[in-house]
């Protein structure tokens, strides 16, 4: 992911609604988006796509919630692309890995 | 370093210049052509067979989109391409920090002017008419335009995770500290525009192999390239950018505008596509300075020593993130000003609204808080009965102190010295009002006063800001230096991706090369993505970071030259080797001419330069977040027509620490230009918003200072070297903008005695007639004021 202020981990999740499910495709997508929004890490990235960005721990946990909500709503496919950035050292730590 | 992508065309022939050395005044290569109208801006690009792109924008600041019908537009003769979000091949959103902004909107629009569809046609008028044929079915929603409303929990969410984009909380010392003398205030800064003169423009050219070349005016080629490639679903090497003539930037070109759109259209149509916004569209096409509301409380002891500062900052980020995260951080870290503050509690919030997206602009968060903390210092001085400069001197930070964000104040930090310098500069003479040239009266040649009601005032302010990118960002620049011989003369070719946006970077790169290698002829190649990133031309960083890269690359070349000399002439020279006047010297003795040494081949070196590392703030807002700080102080002298609220700024005096004067003429230009932008914010410049809609998207209605508004600038420049930077230099572009605004407003207060807690200051504030009209019974025969003018009670 481009950007000069990058999150440690980002996950792009594309939810493909299932036409045969009890809930409508819109409701399935909406359920996934709502779950993503509740994690506090989400942005829309297309009609059926969300991006989660944050720390590794946060994003991995959030992904699980979005997948669960998608499946519960009837979706059968969630495509995920995960990108990781290196940790920036924290204040007071060794100035590691820098020239 | 290997070039990142293959060239698709020959490099243009660059005429070499003799740039002089660092420290010398040298006119910019682009200066005369710009003044004479001969400079080629990106809007002047043309190629045979090119198409014209145009953008369909939302007329609503907040709406759902139910459908987009492009059929009629596609059927128009002369239309080659009509694209919507469905045609974005890759990531449908972009953003420098957070990819939250749609390339083309799909279900929602979140600000007036948001792009929905793009068209390419054989004539700009055909493209415009095609836009009219695109049918969009909107469900109009109430816009959320007040950040305070956006912050409330019961307000609808504009983005999935809510309306709070960023929070920074800084806790320093005892956050519950109390003091004998307390002053508080609420302050507001309006939405300023960068108001660059060259509107957004560029040309995309398909390469016939699936890739694209984009000729573009921008501030950061590589971050554009990366975002474009993601959205086009192309590898970065298939998207090649070359900088075209840039007509100013000031932060407004850091975000994408028409870059992805023009590339999509060019790839779809298989023809070059040029896009060029008009002035009105430009106001919708780039981000603006964040409006901000600030609540401050300062506590001090009775001798005037600051005990604590508390501040709550609420920024309007607009519809999308842009660089708002970093602005929120910057504002938080600089909220106390350049003072030794033992205890502080700063809460900085960035909110999404349905206003235009806000992002980078000269001063980047430091401008807003400087207006507030300097007003507070004047208020505190008044309550203590102290001279406001004396109060500032008493509390001025010095090397070894701690910033409220935990970092140690580094050398040099001459806050007291620059304040003393501006205080001690001679005051401008008071000119007799009667008989004065009208241009030197408030209101100018409008002939509105002959001097009655005109009062003079004086105000002081001091500010500071970080240079470069902070908080752990890997901030670097790449430079390539080639030393060769052409027509029997040595010549240096300099290649970087640093964007020349009018700051004088090209001239400086040439001066550094000339200085380091002792060669008269220097040619600076066009900035493009064939070399590694130079980072952004923003944050006052290019002289430091790309200047450092050029210097380092020259040193590498020089090392290779000396190796070659030693190989050919041995080691015993009786003195240190150096390069001067196109030769290699040992002491004062000429060893060999470069033309002879390099006749069988030149030397080329590419390097990557980094400044020292920085670190993110921890959960209490503490950390070594910044690597350099720049300081400036201003004194403003104004004359105010109290009856009409008209102002003439008589003079600005300023002192600034620049570390090292690299090019005196360029430096003076930066200081004058920064002061002009600070004056604009103090008195004139604001994007007027009503219900999420821009009311003044033109240079007729958006007021800019002209040469008639600009006073003489008296300046003193300190050269206190930064031990970590190339040549000891400091970034100089932003500090003149930061404290010039509060100095002018302080002078207005001095003249009028009014509070003036909001900028830009309006004439009605100065004349004391702002606020609701007085309600009176209608006169006989009159219906009285109409309801719309006086509200529903009338």
Q: Are residues B707 and B645 in the same domain?
A: yes
Q: Is the Cβ–Cβ distance between B141 and B63 less than 8 Å?
A: yes
For B134, residues 6+ apart whose C-beta sits below 8 A from its C-beta are B56, B68, B69, B70, B72, B73, B82, B116, B117, B119
Q: Is residue B777 part of a domain?
A: no
Q: Are residues B134 and B230 in the same domain?
A: yes
Q: What are phi and psi of B318, to 5 degrees?
A: 75, -160
Q: Which of B306, B315, B309 is nearest to B296 (CA)?
A: B309
Amino acid B2: pLDDT: 40
The ipTM, to two decimals, is 0.87
Contacts of A89 in chain B (CB under 8 A): 472, 613, 615
Instruction: Quickly name the fold that domain A9-84 has.
Output: Alpha-Beta Plaits (3.30.70)
Q: Is the Cβ–Cβ distance between B249 and B219 less than 8 Å?
A: yes
DSSP state of B746: H
CB count in 10 Å sphere of residue B259: 25
Amino acid B776: pLDDT: 72
Amino acid A1: pLDDT: 39
Q: Are residues B515 and B594 in the same domain?
A: yes
Q: Least CA distance to A33: which residue of chain B?
A: B160
Please state, in angstroms and rounded to a whole number, the distance separating the CA atoms of residues B530 and B213. Answer: 11
For B391, residues 6+ apart whose C-beta sits below 8 A from its C-beta are B304, B377, B380, B381, B384
Query: Strand, coil or helix: what is B677?
Result: helix
Please state, in angstroms and rounded to a whole number, the distance separating the CA atoms of residues B290 and B313. Answer: 11
Token pair of A82, please? 């995960």
Least CB–CB distance from A37: residue in B161, B326, B618: B161
pLDDT in tens, B600-614: 999 999 999 999 999
Could you please report the per-residue DSSP string of B637-671? EEEEETTTTEEEEEEEEEEEE-SS-S-HHHHHHHH
Q: What are phi and psi of B250, to 5 degrees?
A: 60, 25
Report angle CA B476, B482, B484 to the nearest 5 degrees: 170
Q: Are residues B357 and B221 in the same domain?
A: yes
Q: Is B23 exposed, middle or buried (0-12, 13-18, 19+ CB in 10 A)?
A: middle
E-strand stretches of B387-515:
454-466, 476-486, 489-496
Terminal alpha carbon distance of chain A: 23
For B309, residues 6+ apart whose C-beta sits below 8 A from its C-beta are B296, B297, B298, B299, B335, B336, B341, B343, B344, B345, B346, B373, B376, B404
Distance from CA of A13 to the nearest CA of B (A): 11
| Domain end call among B555, B587, B610 | B610
Residue at token pair 């958006």: B702
Amino acid A86: pLDDT: 58
Token pair of B753, please? 């005695």
Give the C-alpha distances (Å, rounded to integers) separating B421 from B338, B456, B557, B655: 16, 21, 42, 6
CB count in 10 Å sphere of residue B99: 26
Q: Are residues B648 and B587 in the same domain?
A: no
Is A4 close to B157, i.e. CB distance below 8 A? Answer: no
pLDDT in tens, B226-269: 999 999 999 999 999 999 999 999 999 999 999 999 999 999 99
Q: Are residues B166 and B209 in the same domain?
A: yes
Q: Is the Cβ–Cβ distance between A81 and A73 less than 8 Å?
A: no
Token pair of B184, please? 């508080």
Amino acid B14: pLDDT: 65
Contacts of B94 in chain A (CB under 8 A): 2
Q: Are residues B602 and B681 in the same domain?
A: no
Supply the range of the domain harboring residue B293: 48-367
Strand partners, B585: B578, B590
The low-confidence residues of chain B, meaning pLDDT below 50, are 1-7, 9, 787, 789-794
Q: Which of B782, B746, B2 is nearest to B377 (CA)?
A: B746
Is B100 close to A44, i.e. CB distance below 8 A? Answer: yes
Q: Are residues B542 and B672 in the same domain?
A: no
Domain count, chain B: 3
Please state, in angstroms and rounded to a whole number, the distance separating the CA atoms of residues B314 and B312. Answer: 7
CB count in 10 Å sphere of residue B603: 19
Q: Are residues B560 and B628 in the same domain?
A: no
> Can you give the residue ranges of every domain in chain A?
9-84
Amino acid B155: pLDDT: 97
Q: Is residue B578 part of a domain?
A: yes
Q: Is residue B488 part of a domain?
A: yes
Is A2 close to B162, i.e. CB distance below 8 A? Answer: no
Amino acid B19: pLDDT: 80
Q: Please, what's the b/e burial string for B355-378 (b: 16 or more CB within 10 A of its CB; e: otherwise)?
A: bbbbbbbbbbbbbbbbbbbbbbbb
Q: Are residues B687 and B546 in the same domain?
A: no
Distance from CA of A96 to the nearest CA of B (A): 10
Q: Is A8 exposed, middle or buried (0-12, 13-18, 19+ CB in 10 A)?
A: middle
Amino acid B451: pLDDT: 83
Amino acid B213: pLDDT: 98
Token pair of B211, please? 């890739």
Please state, in angstroms and rounded to a whole number, the distance separating the CA atoms of residues B26 and B20. Answer: 7
User: The sheet that has B292-300: what strands, in order across it?
Assistant: B164-172, B343-352, B306-318, B292-300, B181-189, B758-759
Amino acid A91: pLDDT: 41
Q: Are residues B589 and B629 in the same domain?
A: no
* CATH number, residue B582: 3.30.365.10
Residue at token pair 């959205």: B231
| Stretch (H or E) spanning B227 | helix B221-232
Q: How many CB pairs under 8 A join A and B?
A: 101
pLDDT in tens, A31-65: 999 999 999 999 999 999 999 999 999 999 999 99
Please state, in angstroms and rounded to a whole number, the distance separating the CA atoms of residues B23 and B663. Answer: 5
Amino acid B27: pLDDT: 87
Residues 90 through 119 of chain B touching chain A, CB cutoff 8 Å: 91-100, 102, 106-107
Contacts of A38 in chain B (CB under 8 A): 161
* CATH number, residue B287: 3.90.1170.50
Q: Are residues B539 and B678 in the same domain?
A: no
Least CB–CB distance from B161: residue in A42, A88, A89: A42
B163 reaches A (C-beta below 8 A): no
Q: Which of B104, B109, B100, B101 is nearest to B141 (CA)?
A: B109
Residue at token pair 């009159």: B782
Q: Please, what's the b/e burial string for B101-117 (b: 16 or more CB within 10 A of its CB; e: otherwise)?
A: bbbbbbebbbbbbbbbb
pTM of the model: 0.94
């Amino acid at each position: 992911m481009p950007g000069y202020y990058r999150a440690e981990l980002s996950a792009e999740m594309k939810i493909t609604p299932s036409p045969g499910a009890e809930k409508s495709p819109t409701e399935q997508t909406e359920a996934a988006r709502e779950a993503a929004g509740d994690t506090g890490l989400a942005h829309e990235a297309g009609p059926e796509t969300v991006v989660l960005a944050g720390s590794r721990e946060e994003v991995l946990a959030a992904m699980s919630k979005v997948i669960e909500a998608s499946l519960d709503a009837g979706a059968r496919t969630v495509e995920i692309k995960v990108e990781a950035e290196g940790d920036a050292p924290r204040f007071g730590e060794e100035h590691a890995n820098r020239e | 370093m290997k070039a990142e992508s293959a060239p698709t065309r020959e490099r243009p022939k660059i005429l070499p210049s003799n740039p002089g050395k660092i420290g010398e005044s040298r006119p910019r290569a682009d200066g005369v052509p710009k003044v004479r109208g001969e400079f080629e801006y990106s809007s002047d690009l043309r190629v045979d067979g090119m198409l014209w792109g145009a953008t369909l924008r939302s007329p609503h600041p907040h709406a759902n989109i139910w459908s987009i019908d492009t059929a009629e537009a596609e059927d128009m003769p002369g239309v080659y391409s009509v694209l919507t979000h469905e045609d974005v091949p890759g990531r449908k959103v972009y953003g420098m920090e957070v990819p939250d902004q749609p390339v083309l909107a799909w279900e929602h629009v979140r600000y007036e002017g948001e792009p929905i569809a793009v068209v390419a046609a054989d004539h700009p008028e055909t493209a415009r008419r095609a836009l009219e044929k695109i049918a969009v079915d909107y469900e109009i929603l109430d816009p959320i335009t007040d950040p305070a409303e956006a912050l409330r929990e019961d307000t609808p969410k504009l983005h999935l995770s809510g309306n709070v984009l960023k929070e920074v909380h800084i806790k320093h010392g005892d956050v519950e500290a109390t003091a004998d003398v307390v002053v508080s205030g609420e302050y507001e800064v309006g939405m300023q525009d960068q108001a660059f003169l060259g509107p957004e423009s560029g040309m995309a050219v398909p390469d016939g192999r699936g890739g694209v070349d984009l000729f573009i005016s921008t501030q950061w080629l590589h971050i554009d390239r990366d975002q474009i490639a993601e959205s086009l679903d192309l590898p970065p090497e298939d998207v090649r950018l070359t900088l075209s003539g840039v007509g100013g930037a000031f932060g407004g070109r850091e975000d994408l505008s028409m870059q992805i759109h023009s590339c999509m259209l060019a790839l779809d149509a298989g023809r070059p596509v040029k896009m060029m916004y008009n002035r009105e569209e430009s106001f919708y096409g780039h981000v603006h300075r964040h409006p901000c509301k600030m609540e401050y409380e300062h506590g001090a002891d009775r001798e005037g020593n600051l005990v604590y500062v508390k501040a709550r900052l609420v920024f309007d980020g607009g519809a999308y993130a842009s660089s708002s995260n970093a602005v929120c951080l910057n504002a938080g870290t600089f909220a106390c000003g350049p003072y030794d503050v033992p205890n502080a509690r700063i809460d900085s919030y960035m909110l999404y609204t349905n206003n235009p997206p806000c992002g980078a602009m000269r001063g980047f968060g430091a401008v807003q808080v400087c207006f507030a903390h300097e007003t507070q210092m004047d208020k505190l001085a008044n309550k203590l009965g102290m001279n406001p400069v004396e109060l500032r001197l008493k509390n001025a930070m010095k090397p070894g102190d701690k910033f409220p964000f935990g970092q140690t104040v580094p050398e040099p930090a001459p806050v007291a010295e620059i304040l003393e310098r501006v205080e001690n500069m001679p005051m401008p003479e008071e000119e007799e009002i009667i008989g004065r040239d009208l241009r030197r009266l408030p209101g100018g040649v409008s002939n509105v006063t002959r001097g009655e009601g005109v009062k003079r005032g004086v105000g002081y302010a001091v500010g500071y800001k970080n240079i470069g990118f902070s908080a752990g960002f890997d901030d670097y620049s790449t430079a390539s230096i080639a030393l060769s011989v052409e027509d029997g003369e040595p010549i240096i070719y300099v290649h970087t991706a640093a964007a020349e946006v009018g700051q004088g970077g090209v001239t400086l790169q040439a001066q550094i090369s000339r200085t380091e290698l002792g060669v008269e002829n220097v040619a600076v190649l066009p900035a493009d993505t064939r070399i590694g990133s130079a980072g952004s031309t923003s944050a006052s960083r290019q002289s430091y970071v790309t200047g450092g890269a050029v210097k380092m690359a020259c040193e590498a070349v020089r090392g290779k030259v000396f190796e070659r000399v030693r190989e050919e002439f041995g080691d015993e020279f009786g003195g240190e080797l150096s390069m001067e006047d196109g030769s290699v010297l040992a002491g004062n003795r000429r060893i060999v001419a470069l033309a002879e040494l390099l006749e069988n081949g030149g030397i080329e070196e590419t390097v990557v330069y980094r400044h020292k590392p920085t670190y993110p703030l921890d959960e209490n807002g503490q950390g070594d977040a910044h690597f350099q700080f720049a300081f400036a102080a201003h004194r403003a002298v104004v004359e105010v027509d109290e009856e009409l609220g008209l102002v003439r700024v008589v003079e600005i005096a300023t002192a600034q620490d620049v570390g090292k004067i690299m090019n005196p003429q360029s430096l003076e230009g930066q200081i004058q230009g920064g002061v002009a932008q600070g004056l604009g914010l103090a008195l004139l410049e604001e994007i007027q918003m009503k219900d999420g809609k821009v009311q003044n998207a033109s240079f007729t209605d958006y007021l800019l200072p002209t040469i008639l508004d600009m006073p003489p600038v008296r300046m003193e420049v300190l050269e206190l070297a930064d031990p970590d930077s190339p040549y000891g230099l400091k970034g100089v572009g932003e500090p003149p903008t930061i404290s010039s605004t509060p100095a002018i407003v302080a002078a207005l207060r001095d003249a009028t005695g009014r509070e003036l807690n909001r900028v830009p200051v309006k004439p009605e504030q100065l004349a004391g007639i702002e606020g609701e009209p007085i309600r009176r019974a209608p006169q006989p025969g009159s219906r009285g004021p109409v309801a719309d003018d006086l509200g529903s009670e009338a």
